[in-house]
Chain A
Amino acid sequence: MTNHWVDIKNADLIFVMGGNPAEAHPCGFKWVIEAKKNRKAKLVVVDPRFNRTASVADFYAPVRSGSDIAFLGGVINYLIVNDKIHHEYVKAYTNAGLLVDAGYKFEDGIFSGYNEEKRSYGKDSWKYQMDTEGYAKVDDTWQDPNCVWQLMKTHYSRYTPEMVARICGTPKEAFLKICAMIAETAAPTKTMTSLYALGWTEHSVGSQNIRCMAIIQLLLGNMGMAGGGINALRGHANVQGITDFALYAQNLPGYLGAPGDADADLKTFLEKRTPKAMRPGQMNYGQNFPKWFISLQKAWWGDAANKDNDFAYDYLPKLAGASDVLSIFDQMYQGKINGFFCQGFNPLASVANKRKVGDALAKLKYLVVIDPLATDTSEFWKPYGEFNEVDPAKIQTEVFRLPANLFAEHAGSFTNSGRVIQWRWKAVDGPGDAKDDAEILAALFLRLKEAYVKEGGAFADPILKLTWAYRQPAKPSPEELMMEYNGKALADVTDPKDPTKVLVKAGDQLGSFAQLRDDGSTTCGNWIYCGVWSPAGNNSARRDPSDPSGLGQTLNWGYAWPVNRRILYNRASADLSGKPWDAKRMVLRWTGKAWGGNDVPDMRPDAAPEENVMPFIMNPEGVGRLFCRDLMADGPMPEHYEPFETPLDANPMHPNNPKATSNPAARVFKGDMEAFGKAKDFPYVATTYRLTEHFHYWTKQSKINAIMQPEQFVEIGEELAKEKGIVAGDKVKIRSNRGFIRAVAVVTKRIKALDVDGRKVHTVGIPTHFGFKGATKPGFITNTLTPVVGDANVQTPEYKAFLVNIEKA
């Protein structure tokens, strides 16, 4: 989230699309109700299903799953055509006036630079025109045909209300009513908050769905405002923290891009990762990349990382290419992976195409499941009738199952989706011989280290020299680990303006990432978390809920990254002169000497307004991006593409170009393309979602949740039920080109047939949650049905829009 949960109460309009917080995030949703009750805020819901969030909305409209960009592109067009733009904001704080390279083109659904064979773009033309000093050129009049404003205006002019209705199946009047409600928040004193979840991300165009909202919120001037922003609701309690710590291949902790094969040495790596300012006088905060990276190397390898060995740069592995869960399972399927760990993760249930996942696991030499519970994955080799048809004798994988403790059984911190880090305390011991995750990993690591000491082996240095200064080496405590990743000074850290002034003494904890250095004199395991264990102690354990601002900022409750800032880009909540756009919801203001107010400034504290330092300090431009240059894989501006399994014959935006039917830059593996179904065999759009009584594949293990929602069902509309002769309570069989599941039919008014591109499109709603292990009735795994294709940028699978057929079982 750019903002945070309680801040939702400050909104005038709550726009929910791609999420269902009333059911999936009920206790956070209370802040929507607070806004409605106390501010007379309006709630708008756009979803294929009239869900429980919709049931308390002021206005609801249906949309075909997988057509979000058409809808949101239509909103952008409406705002431009009807001049519902926060002009002062857009002019100062966005790249609307910046000039784009003359080679940039968008023709027949394809951006310039496309390579069909590689399904990817060469992005040389997706950049600004630069002047001789190396800064982007600007036309403040927005008249140049190649300025961002003009390109954007032309691009979205095709997204007329008629086109929106045709692609999305949303009635035109409903669409226009929602546009009018959104447009009201272009006023400087009105804000809209956008709440979304996996309903936007789990598409082959997922990242671009969110880019659309970024554009809309910039046009309306809602970024940085209390009650504004773009707010990902998110899944697990610590999905934010685990993302921040980069438990994935592409990044190192704190979103530092991991080295790849092209980054042969430290110098090349740092030069490539450290941006240069694109406009004069901007903070370009990314220029500090070397400080963050060197401090990470020092945290991990101490004295073994020094100037003489490029701070142990070669101790880090370089990434060869794709390495995300879909590609990892594809590699495993091809027999290229021998060992695999599943820590609190149930991929047989939660990764697309269950059959492929099961077949891949069967090719492993060893599988290690570290989990508090007996997961479906841990028994992928065990026959459970038609729910899991396998022959154990043919599966040669050795499977280890190691019992881990649950949240209540160990201390440590979780980071919520509002970026607030909160400490938890241990209540009881785990059952039997269960151990903490950290203890299990430490035990494995120490065994490996001992073996490398005794026997030697492949490149042992990074293992032997890894910092491991824990009081009990086999049991690193959460306090020690938090202190370690916060970081400390190895030598006195002095003020760059006055070297005689010591900011942090050698050996002391650091107070913020502003104190990090690139000369090896500081350590920090995750720069954005620096400050969480400062000289004042464990700030994540602070429990003062006082809120003097009345905005719900609670600055002394836990600790938010970065530097306890609760609203990102908050400099944009004030005009150029530093006066808040809305005095009643003041986040920040210029006091004459410094920035002050109700939050930690997202700005150099003494940057006077006349210095023209713009609010988006992480961008080298200093401004928000309506056109995002070469930073996305599939285009600098979002374009509607059909899901890979579409009920239509073509993309209505580009009916004559089959290359532009679905995302041209999305990756598809061999074998998976063939596994896509066609509308003639699988005529119905399927979408998966959560129930309020369950959490993923976890709560099916809990008795009370199993009592509340005991078995798999699917939801279909009354019209489809009638066509198929299905009545409520019937057992039905749902098939995709990858497999089938059986479930109980729920016939509902909540899902209606939509009129799309001249034909009727039915939606089948399929809750996830069920499987063959657990307290719920044994059943099929929903992801038996889903296709293996991900978003072009981050490879999040397309769980929300695929094709099925349905019949009475």
Chain B
Amino acid sequence: MNITRRQFFKVCSAGLGGSSIALMGFSPTAALAEVRTFKLARATETRNTCPYCSVSCGVLIYSTGDKSKNAPGEIIHIEGDPDNPVNRGTLCPKGAGLRDMVQSANRLKWPEVREAGSNEWKRISWDEALDRVARHMKKDRDANFMAQNKDGVTVNRWSSTGFLASSAASNEAGYLTVKMLRALGMTSIDTQARI
């Protein structure tokens, strides 16, 4: 049969309840119990990429809901994308555990601060967190920005605040990050690619 993966699920879920059972000799009226449909048939399928190694395996993420605004989805399954020419549907022991990563008990859910000398975290709002961090940055930049070096060359750098950038961020987030850091004059920048 020349059907797509998505059509295949649809045929299975629709077909199992009706025609195929009839074909096996059961009359629809006699079949009182409903046949369980595949959960994946009702799931929303999203194409994504495994975030671990640089093979960058294609993955299919199955989640509940239909992505409408007030129906938050939950991931119920992640598997390899059979169309991807590199991994061809396979995943390794790391990639096969992706759902447990996304749903790890150690996911951060809200901004927190650990005050100087304290031994605990305190939950704060995004506004408070961003205001305080931006205030720290501005104060440090204004105090330590070097406009010229000792030879009088314009250098316009701010080296007293540093940034380690993620290699798991997207190209787009990386681009915005580098654009912003350079505009601030930051030079103490590095990334995981180094190590």
Task: Give residues of chain B (116-175) contacting chain A, Cβ–Cβ below 8 Å.
Answer: 116-119, 121, 126, 129-138, 140-142, 144-145, 147, 149, 151, 153-175
The answer to whether A242 and B142 have CB atoms under 8 Å apart is no
Point out the residues of chain B lying under 8 angstroms from A253, CB to CB: 175, 178
Q: Which of B106, B113, B167, B171 contacts A774 (CB 8 A)?
A: B106
B188 touching A331, Cβ below 8 Å: yes
Pair B188/A249 contact, Cβ less than 8 Å: yes
- Among the listed stretches A66-74, A107-115, A437-445, which one makes contact with chain B, having 4 or more residues with CB under 8 Å of it? A437-445
Q: Answer whether residue B28 sits at the interface, using C-beta atoms and an 8 A cutoff.
A: no
With known contacts A27-B57, A412-B172, A427-B46, A406–B101 Cβ distance under 8 A = yes
Answer whether residue B49 sits at the interface, using C-beta atoms and an 8 A cutoff: yes
Instruction: Verify if A415 is at the interface (C-beta below 8 Å from B).
Output: yes
Interface size of A by CB at 8 A reads 163
* Contact present for B188 and A337 (CB under 8 Å): yes
A187 at the interface (CB under 8 A from B): no
A207 → chain B, closest Cβ, in Å? 12
Within 8 A of B (CB), among A431-459: 431-438, 440-445, 447-448, 451-452, 455, 457-459
- Once the chains bind, are B195 and A797 in contact (CB under 8 Å)? yes
Of the A-B pairs whose beta carbons lie under 8 Å apart in the complex, a sample of 25, sorted by A's number, is A27-B95, A236-B167, A237-B52, A242-B174, A245-B174, A264-B153, A315-B156, A317-B182, A317-B187, A318-B153, A338-B144, A338-B160, A381-B114, A381-B119, A402-B108, A402-B129, A408-B75, A416-B54, A424-B47, A432-B109, A441-B173, A448-B184, A457-B142, A476-B176, A552-B85
CB of A414 within 8 A of CB of B175, answer: no
A393 located at the interface, meaning its Cβ lies under 8 Å from any Cβ of chain B in the complex: yes
Interface 9-mer from A668-676, A699-707, A729-737: A699-707
- Residues of chain B lying within 8 A (CB to CB) of residue A5: 55, 86
Cross-interface CB contact of A344 among B105, B168, B185, B188, cutoff 8 Å: B168
For B51, B54, B116, B174, which residue has the most chain A Cβ atoms within 10 angstroms? B54
Name which residue of chain B comes closest to A541, CB basis.
B47
- Given A247-B165, A328-B190, also A406-B53 (CB < 8 A): no
Do A451 and B134 form a contact, CB below 8 Å, given A417-B54, A796-B194?
yes
In the assembled complex, the CB of A272 is this many whole angstroms from the nearest CB of chain B, namely 14
Interchain CB contact (< 8 A) of A242 among B91, B136, B188, B193: B193
- Chain B's closest residue to A799 (CB) is B195
The answer to whether the Cβ of B56 comes within 8 Å of any Cβ in the partner chain is: yes
Q: Which of A481-489, A515-523, A619-627, A758-766 contacts B (4 or more CB under 8 A)?
A: A481-489
**Cβ of A379 to closest chain B Cβ, rounded Å:** 8
Task: Pick the residue among B96, B154, B161, B182 that contacts A252 (CB under 8 A).
Answer: B182
CB < 8 Å neighbour of B168 from A324, A398, A407, A478:
A407
**Do A341 and B176 contact each other (CB < 8 Å), given the known contacts A247-B189, A408-B102, A695-B53?**
no
Minimum Cβ distance to chain A for residue B112 (Å): 5
Q: How far is the CB of B139 from chain A (nearest CB, A)?
A: 9
Query: Is A12 close to B, CB under 8 A?
Result: no
Q: Is the CB of A371 within 8 A of B108?
A: yes
Please judge, given known A-B contacts A27-B57, A416-B56, A444-B133, whether A481 and B175 are in contact too, CB under 8 Å. yes
- In contact, B53 and A25 (Cβ under 8 angstroms): yes
Residues of B contacting A428 in the complex (Cβ-Cβ under 8 angstroms): 61, 63, 72-75
Q: Given A316-B182, A447-B130, A547-B85 in contact, is the A427-B52 Cβ separation under 8 Å?
A: no
- Say yes or no: is A332 at the interface (Cβ < 8 Å to chain B): yes
> CA–CA, A418 to B86, complex, Å?
10
The reply to whether B154 and A236 form a contact with Cβ atoms under 8 Å apart is no
8 Å CB contacts to B: which residues of A734-791?
773-775
Judging by beta carbons under 8 Å apart, are B167 and A344 in contact? yes
Assess the B187–A249 pair: CB atoms within 8 A. yes
Within 8 Å by CB of B192, from A242, A318, A434, A437, lies A242
B contacts with A, residue count (CB < 8 A)? 118
Do A247 and B104 touch (CB < 8 A)? no
B119 & A382 in contact (Cβ 8 Å cutoff): yes
- B191 touches which of A234, A242, A351, A447 (Cβ 8 Å): A242
Q: In the bound complex, what is the Cα–Cα distance between A316 and B178 (angstroms)?
A: 11
Nearest chain B CB to A556's CB is how many angstroms away? 10
The residues of A that contact B178 with a CB separation of less than 8 Å are: 245-247, 252-253
Give A433 to B123 CA distance when docked, in angstroms.
Answer: 12
Binary B-proximity of A316-354 (CB < 8 A = 1, otherwise 0): 111110011100100110001111111111010011000
Knowing A412-B172, A478-B172, the reply to whether A427 touches B63 (Cβ < 8 A) is yes
Whether A466 pairs with B179 at a CB distance below 8 angstroms is yes
Which of A202, A241, A318, A370 is in CB contact (< 8 Å) with B157?
Answer: A318
* In the complex, residue of chain B having the shortest beta-carbon distance to the beta carbon of A5: B86
A708 in the interface (beta carbon within 8 A): yes
A529 within 8 A of B: yes
Is A652 engaged at the interface, CB distance under 8 Å to the other chain? no
Evaluate whether A443 and B52 lie within 8 angstroms (CB atoms) in the complex, with A241-B174, A703-B104 already known. Answer: no
Q: Does A400 contact B (CB under 8 A)?
A: yes
User: Contact at B110–A399, with CB atoms within 8 Å?
Assistant: no
Contact A320 B159 (CB under 8 A): yes
Is residue B34 contacting chain A, with contact meaning CB distance below 8 A?
no
- Residue of A336, A436, A695 near B94 (CB, 8 A) is A695
Q: Which listed residue, B101, B117, B119, B173, touches A698 by the CB 8 Å rule? A: B101
> Chain A contacts of B118 at CB under 8 A?
392
Task: Assess whether A568 is interfacial by the CB under 8 Å rule.
Answer: no
- Known contacts A237-B49, A370-B166, A374-B108; can you find 14 more A-B pairs with CB under 8 A? A6-B85, A235-B167, A237-B168, A300-B182, A336-B160, A344-B165, A392-B118, A400-B133, A409-B102, A412-B173, A431-B107, A444-B137, A457-B141, A463-B184
Q: Is the CB of A236 within 8 A of B53?
A: yes
The 9 residue pairs across chains A and B that have the minimum distance between CB atoms: A344-B166, A432-B109, A412-B170, A403-B108, A416-B56, A247-B165, A339-B161, A458-B145, A234-B54
What's the nearest-Cβ distance from chain B to residue A422, in Å? 6
Decide: B100 and A702 in contact? CB cutoff 8 A: yes
Chain A residues lying within 8 Å of B184, measured Cβ to Cβ, are: 448, 462-463
Q: Which of B80, B131, B138, B171 has the most CB of A within 10 A?
A: B171
Q: Report the separation of the CA atoms of residues A463 and B181 in the bound assembly, to the nearest whole angstrom.
A: 10
Assess A325 versus B190: contact at CB under 8 Å? Given A245-B175, A373-B108, A428-B63.
Answer: yes
B14 at the interface (CB under 8 A from A): no
Q: Name the residue on B nearest A398 (C-beta).
A: B116
Task: Please give the distance in Å from B113's CB to the nearest CB on chain A.
Answer: 5
Asked if B54 and A236 sit within 8 Å, CB to CB, the answer is yes
